[in-house]
Amino acid sequence: MRTTRTVPARPVLFTTLALTTAGSLLLTPQTAVADPPHPQPPHREAALDRNAARTPTSAAQRALATAEAGSEAISDDSRGYPRRQVLTPDPENPADKSIKLGLTPYHAVAPKLNALQALGDRVSVEVAGRSAGGHRLYLVTVTAPESARQARAQARMRELIENAPALAAKSPEIRKTYKAPVFVNNNIHGNEWEGTDASLRAIERLATATDGRTRDLLAHSRLYFNITANPDGRIAGTRTNANGFDMNRDFVTATQPEVRAMRRIMVDKQPAVMLDLHGYVNGTLIEPTTPPHGENYEYDLFLKNTYANALGMEAAVNGLGYTPGKDGVEPAQIPFRDQQEGWDDWPPIFTPQYAAFHGTVAAHTVEIPLAVNNEEYDTLPTAELRRRSAINVDVAGAALSATLDFVRARRASLVADQIEVFRRGAAGAAQVPVSEETVPGVPGIGPEDVYTTNFPRAYVIPAGTGTQRSATAAARLVDHLLANDVRVTRAAQAFRLGGKTYAKGSYVVDMRQPKRGLANVLLADGRDISDRVSAMYDISGWSLGRLWGASVATLPGVPYGVLRPVRAAAPVAYVAPRGDLRLRLDDPNEIAALNSLLRQGISVRRAADGSAIVPGSARRRAAQAARTYDVAFHATKLSGTTPLHRTRVAAAVTSGELFALREMNFEVTPVSTGVLNAGFDWSSVDALFVSRGLDHDDLTSGARTALDAFLDGHGLVGRGATGAALGSATGLLAAKPVEGNGDANGVVRVVNSRSTLMSGAPDHGFVYAPVWFTDLGPEVRVEQSYATGNPLVSGHWRESEDGSGGPSDAAGRASVISGPHAVLFGTEPLFRDHPKGEFAQVARALFSMAPVSGSD
């Protein structure tokens, strides 16, 4: 279930050192694993995902990296079907939370899949990757047998659909023989179990059924089942994976290995239809959704098919005969028809909404009815839990069966609509606003459902100092676009457009491409929709073009003749050949490189602009860090003033913040009120970061005394209301935190100071329940403020019911403040990996709070 509030592609390792004619160290790329035997076209080529990739340093890390790289096998079109393999069983785990519900425990999945493959020639199993906890992710394909030649023909037609949609629309071969791809995703929330069991039951039936409808379905479709998208959570009975991430919020940033595996499936298989099976909403909730609708979709095509399939699923679910009085099961509901707002498809962080950008024209979240998780799991009798789970499996199975009937009946039109999605993108055609005329058969369409956008002609990610804030951030963004199957080109020479000159090496994203919607989702500012709806389900702003730290702009045209397609961003890694070295600290990769040097005992000093000065004697160590983190060390005559020390962090933070801190190579020890009350060894850490889970009022007197003693010699970095409350309770900063509307979130404009903390910081930030500071004491420094006017660029930020807490109240107010022993953030600088351009602000704050013994 989506709940309201109350992080690969093949890595590239820079391993070879060579000397340029200038004598500098050139770090050349070397592929980490072998290319597949049939490489994809350039825009599909696996690219370095700098958001996740690191040089594996241990045997366990290398094994995990190899397993993840194995997900590329799912794109191998040289083999036909079936593709049988014998899976090694996992050790039996009696603690698996599925067992109590009478469902399939994870350790029983591999033997079950082995048995299903043995039933005939329709079922194939591949390992699509590994979870954060190291568990295998199983992709099952069910289809009529195909020779290798037939499989290659299917791949050729699939590529034609995306790459030459105008030709594909006229192809008799596609109309007659192309197998419509269908993707069924299960158990992305680990404690919403039953989709897995419904899919296993469906696969067993499809493997052996001899009726004409099944034979026709499998002759004209490929059915792909992600058996459990979250084995970590399935075993543990948690919504999240082993990293603590809700993966149904991760598709914009793809921080998690499971999400990258799902992304790879959607890119490679190009499903026309998909189901994401969840729980629990009674009656069964079947998308399409209420407004607002994602403005980058071809929503007329999406709504037509999604609503039609929803009606079929509703009939199938209600046709099971379960009743409210007898079984506790309410009739199914379709939010588009039955609700006003509050269950939207605006952000592409959810699996079905993300799938739409890869050509899926009917994609649904389906929430099965009877709760068996959380409190119910702990309090209901086992017999009642199993009764509910059995009903849920039936309901999920009915929705799945109805969808397969829908695909069988409408294969040709579904494929034609997918082709039209890609044709509009490639041609730069206008979107078609939804209406009763453009989407016949869907009742109740009104102006509240009309969301379209104006796509720019192109985006540019410029090269060169003075125009690009961060070359490392730019390279990461380019590789992220490529991993999402967005086409990117690079200028072979300088060009001039719109009155501006762009350097050689600038990246250009031509928006006349099949997946323009996804390109725009990732790069555009987004929209302020505060006046369109009163409530949002989750985030409503997420621009990576503004938040990931790279400079991004739009172009009025495309500089033809100078652009070349790229498979991966050009490496940034560089070390000056002589003299001391300057490492900018504006990007999380640069922070990670610095932390790696500090752990090795390298003497590093901080310059007035916040950068790090590394002695020339550490050049070889710097070269290793440059290779690993793709950063540049330039020559400098600066000596720096303040020593930078290895900083170990005690953190009472969210899972996303913990992940971000570790991504920057900080040594982090999670803490909480309970941990401190149990007696915490403060000598093991150098700074404290708090955003949740630590309440000063609930600490014992001994824990308070120990905390106060630590803060006397160290310092606090706080975020949000919880961090501000601790700063106030400990007397570290004289300021009044003001909480804005708790439902507000989005991209905001900010104004930064030129201090060591904020030098070079981006002029956009992210808020989620924004906070600002008033009544500042004389020792308090304003490091950052919300912009004047309306600071909200995109998202949803209204006044609270009493008229307070809106963006006008925050305008011009302090959003980040500092003092001698504390830095407090009112923004969300580490939120779910979205504002990567802000990560360095937190890192600099932590360095400033660590003790500075030995400084000059």
Tens digits of residue pLDDT in 650-707: 999 999 999 999 999 999 999 999 999 999 999 999 999 999 999 999 999 999 999 9
Last residue of a domain, one of 583, 609, 644: 644
CA distance 27 to 573: 6
What is the maximum alpha-carbon separation in the chain?
83
Residue 1 lies in a domain: no
Can you tell me the distance from the alpha carbon of 118 to that of 125, in angstroms, rounded to the nearest whole number?
11
Q: How many CA atoms lie within 13 A of 532 on its CB side?
A: 23
Helix (H) or strand (E) holding 784: strand 781-786
What is the structure's pLDDT at 851?
Answer: 74
Q: Domain count of the chain?
A: 4
Read off the pLDDT of residues 707-751 as tens digits, 9 standing for 90 and up: 999 999 899 999 999 999 999 999 999 999 999 999 999 999 999
Q: What's the pLDDT score for residue 2?
A: 62
Omega within 30 of 0 (cis) for the link into 283: yes
Of the chain, the percentage scoring pLDDT greater than 90 comes to 88
Contact 137, 258 (CB under 8 A): yes
Place of tokens 């790879």: 264
Residue-level pLDDT at 16: 32
On whether residue 789 sits in a domain, the answer given is yes
Tokens standing for 116? 């299903």
Tokens representing 133 are: 């906890």
For residue 824, being part of any structural domain is answered with yes
CA dist list (Å): 143 to 105, 121, 150, 601 = 26, 9, 12, 58
Residue 208 CB neighbour total at 10 angstroms: 12
The answer to whether 737 touches 721, Cβ cutoff 8 Å, is yes
CATH number, domain of 128, equals 3.40.630.10
pLDDT for position 749: 98
- Structural tokens at position 398: 């009915």
Could you tell me if 619 and 768 lie in one domain? no
Q: Evaluate whether residue 34 is within a structural domain.
A: no
Cβ contacts of 206 within 8 Å, gap of 6 or more:
122, 123, 142, 214, 217, 218, 223
Asked if residue 13 lies in contact with residue 32, where contact means CB atoms within 8 angstroms, the answer is: yes
210: exposed, middle or buried (Cβ count in 10 Å: 0-12, 13-18, 19+): exposed
Q: Is residue 447 part of a domain?
A: no
**What is the arithmetic mean of pLDDT over 318-342?**
97
Q: Which two tokens stand for residue 440?
A: 């016949």
**pLDDT for residue 483:** 98
pLDDT of residue 322: 98
Split at pLDDT 50, 70, 90, the class of 78 is: confident
Cα–Cα nearest to 476, from 48, 68, 829, 10 = 48
458-477 pLDDT, tens digit per residue, is 999 999 988 999 999 999 99
My answer on whether 767 and 681 are in the same domain is: yes
If one compares 18 and 673, the residue with the highest pLDDT of the two is 673
CB contact set of 754 (below 8 Å; sequence gap of 6+): none
Tell which of 530, 565, 600 closes a domain. 565
Residue indicated by tokens 């048995």: 115
CA 150 to CA 143: how far, in whole Å?
12
542 pLDDT above the threshold of 90: yes
What's the mean pLDDT in 527-536?
Answer: 95
Chain centroid offset of residue 678 CA? 35
Element (H, E) at 843: helix 839-849
Q: How many CA atoms lie within 13 A of 675 on its CB side?
A: 13
* 265 and 337 housed in the same domain: yes
Which band of pLDDT confidence, cut at 50, 70 and 90, is reported for residue 850?
confident
Burial class (CB in 10 A: 0-12, 13-18, 19+), 447: exposed
Report d(CA 351, CA 250) in Å as an integer: 9
The reply to whether 601 and 723 lie within a common domain is: no
Cα–Cα distances (Å) from 227 to 90, 133, 400, in that order, read: 15, 16, 13
192 closest CA partner among 2, 349, 347: 2
pLDDT of 74 reads 59
Q: Kindly state whether residues 305 and 170 are assigned to the same domain.
A: yes
DSSP codes joined into one string, 404-455: HHHHHHHHHHHHHHHHHHHHHHHHTPPP----TTTSTT-TT--GGG------
Specify if 35 maps to a domain.
Answer: no
Residue 30 scores a pLDDT above 50: no
Q: Do 588 and 551 share a domain, yes or no?
A: no
Same domain, 246 and 181: yes
Model pLDDT, residue 77: 78
What pLDDT does 75 receive? 60
Neighbours of 30 (CB within 10 A): 10
Is the model's pLDDT at 13 over the cut of 50? no
Q: Are 793 and 541 in contact (CB under 8 A)?
A: yes
CATH code of the domain in which 582 resides: 3.30.70
375 is catalytic: yes
Phi, psi of 279 (to 5 degrees): -160, 160
Contacts of 439 (CB under 8 A, 6+ apart): 300, 303, 304, 307, 445
Least confident of 6-15, 106-115, 575-584: 6-15
Structural domain for 761, as ranges: 648-849
Residues 635, 617 share a domain: yes
- Which of the two residues, 75 and 393, has the higher pLDDT score? 393
Q: How many CA atoms lie within 13 A of 218 on its CB side?
A: 23
CA atoms within 13 A on the CB side of 169: 12
In terms of domains, do 416 and 466 share one?
no
Q: What H or E segment, with its residue span, contains residue 286? A: strand 285-286
Percent of the chain with pLDDT over 70: 91
Q: Which of 375, 448, 667, 838 is catalytic?
A: 375
Q: Averaged over 813-834, what is the pLDDT?
A: 97
Token pair belonging to 55? 């040089």
Which tokens in the block code for residue 75?
């794109």
> Residues 148, 229: one domain?
yes
Same domain? For 260 and 280 the reply is: yes
The secondary structure of 449-484 as a DSSP string is G-------SEEEE--STTT-S-HHHHHHHHHHHHHT
pLDDT surpassing 90 at residue 601: yes
What's the CATH number where 736 sits? 3.40.50.880
* 31-76 pLDDT, tens digit each: 222 223 333 333 333 343 444 433 333 333 333 343 433 444 456 7
Q: What is the mean pLDDT of the chain?
A: 91
DSSP state of 89: P
Kindly report the CA angle at 529 between 768 and 433, in degrees rounded to 5? 140
Which residue among 512, 533, 565 closes a domain?
A: 565
Q: Is the pTM of this model over 0.75?
A: yes
Residue whose tokens read 């590329």:
72
**In a domain? residue 442:** no
pLDDT in tens, 112-137: 999 999 999 999 999 999 999 999 99
573 pLDDT higher than 80? yes
Q: pLDDT at residue 14 above 60?
A: no
Task: Please write the tens of the pLDDT for every residue from 186-198.
Answer: 999 999 999 999 9
What's the rounded mean pLDDT across residues 388-411? 98
> 626 with 653, same domain?
no
Digit-coded pLDDT (tens) for 51-62: 443 333 333 333
User: CA quadruple 426, 430, 434, 437: dihedral positive or negative?
Assistant: negative
Q: Could you tell me if residue 525 is inside a domain?
A: yes
